[in-house]
Amino acid sequence: MNILITGGTGFVGSNLSQVLTDKGHYVYILTRSPDEQTNTDYTAFISYEHPVGNLPVIHAVINLAGDSLYGYWTKQKKKAIRTSRIETTQKVIRMMEQMERKPDVFISGSAVGFYGTSEDHIFTEQTVKPGKDFLADVVTEWEQTAKQAEQLGIRTVYTRFGVILGQKGALPLMKLPVKMGAGGRIANGEQWVSWIHIDDVVGLIQFCMFNEHISGPVNVTAPYPRRNKDFTRVLADVLNRPFWLPVPAMLVRMAIGEMSVLITKGQFVLPQKAQTYHYSFSFPYLKEALRQTERH
């Protein structure tokens, strides 16, 4: 297959591209700086201005681009978080409009931030009402932009990512205080962490790509979320470090501002659609997932 990917040099995109090319698929990676990358036998880096007519038939488009959520959420940062996702998605939609033969599937990145935060609600893909905070607003607009692909007759999937565990992403930041011996619950510790191992992120994207019955939102999370206090305790155990020092929510908010919502609040998200279609998780349980990241 020929697969077009945005965000192909990022954490998820680079892992996904490697697996796809290892399987013999040809990957075209859209990037703002293709000249800084090196093409291979199965990977080509192209700019967003690349003439669509010069591409072969594209069977699948995977949209993963977006400015990192990490950093102090100034007005400028929040604008970058939003516009990077919306504008890139709009560019990809325009490219697909120009394709004589449309892709079979469009998989657009999204996030469990769609649901807002709660300590007692259980969210599945059947939850249609979005939350009422900044991230929920961004994700809602992001998905609505991607939804335009449906009007082109393209099967469209919104992969709502949870907290991804791997060598990059959120986990290194979560490990740092634990490694320093200051591990403990954050705030009241009751907030849910809907996590997933990077291997299952890559696996679920492929699962969605090849299963023609899957469309709409798909929660890309493991089947067993954990509360922050339990997540951190398991992490401390895996790292063989103490678990003892609570971190007040106020301290986190003072340190990183509005972005603290990513740490002090959460949501219990179940991957109902993945389970309905019998996706087999490589790492359904937290301890095994964390141990694997430590081995690599």
pLDDT value at 176 more than 90: no
Which tokens belong to 174?
């979560």
**Model confidence pLDDT, tens digit, residues 267-285:** 999 999 999 999 999 999 9
Give percent of the chain above pLDDT 70.
100
Please tell me the pTM assigned to this model: 0.96
pLDDT of 247 reads 87
Rounded Cα distance, 117 and 263, in Å: 11
Residue 28: is its pLDDT beyond 90?
A: yes
Q: What three-state secondary structure class fits 147?
A: helix
Tracing tokens 């591209």 back to the chain, one arrives at 17
Supply the pLDDT for residue 40: 92
Range in 42-51, 203-212, 226-235, 247-256 the model is least confident about: 247-256
**pLDDT-based confidence at residue 114 (cuts at 50, 70, 90):** very high
109 pLDDT tier (thresholds 50, 70, 90):
very high
- pLDDT-based confidence at residue 183 (cuts at 50, 70, 90): confident
Q: Assess contact for 145 and 178: CB atoms under 8 A.
A: no
Q: Do 269 and 225 meet the contact criterion of CB atoms below 8 Å apart? A: yes
For 105-118, letters b (16+ CB in 10 Å) and e give: bbbbbbbbbbbbbe
The chain-wide mean pLDDT, for the chain, equals 95
For the domain that residue 261 is a member of, what is the CATH number?
Answer: 3.40.50.720
The pLDDT of 86-106, averaged and rounded, is: 97
Is pLDDT above 80 for 296? no
* pLDDT at residue 52, as a whole number: 95
Position 252 confidence tier, pLDDT thresholds 50, 70, 90: confident
Q: Which domain holds residue 158?
A: 2-295
Strands (E), 64-149: 105-111, 122-123
Share of the chain above pLDDT 90, in %: 86
Q: Is 207 helix (H, G, I), strand (E, B) or coil?
A: helix
- For residues 35 and 97, the model is more confident at 97
Q: Sorting pLDDT into bands at 50, 70 and 90, what band is 212?
A: very high
Average pLDDT of span 196-213: 98
Which residue's structure tokens are 């859209």?
A: 30
Domain tally, the chain? 1
Q: What is the pLDDT of residue 173?
A: 84
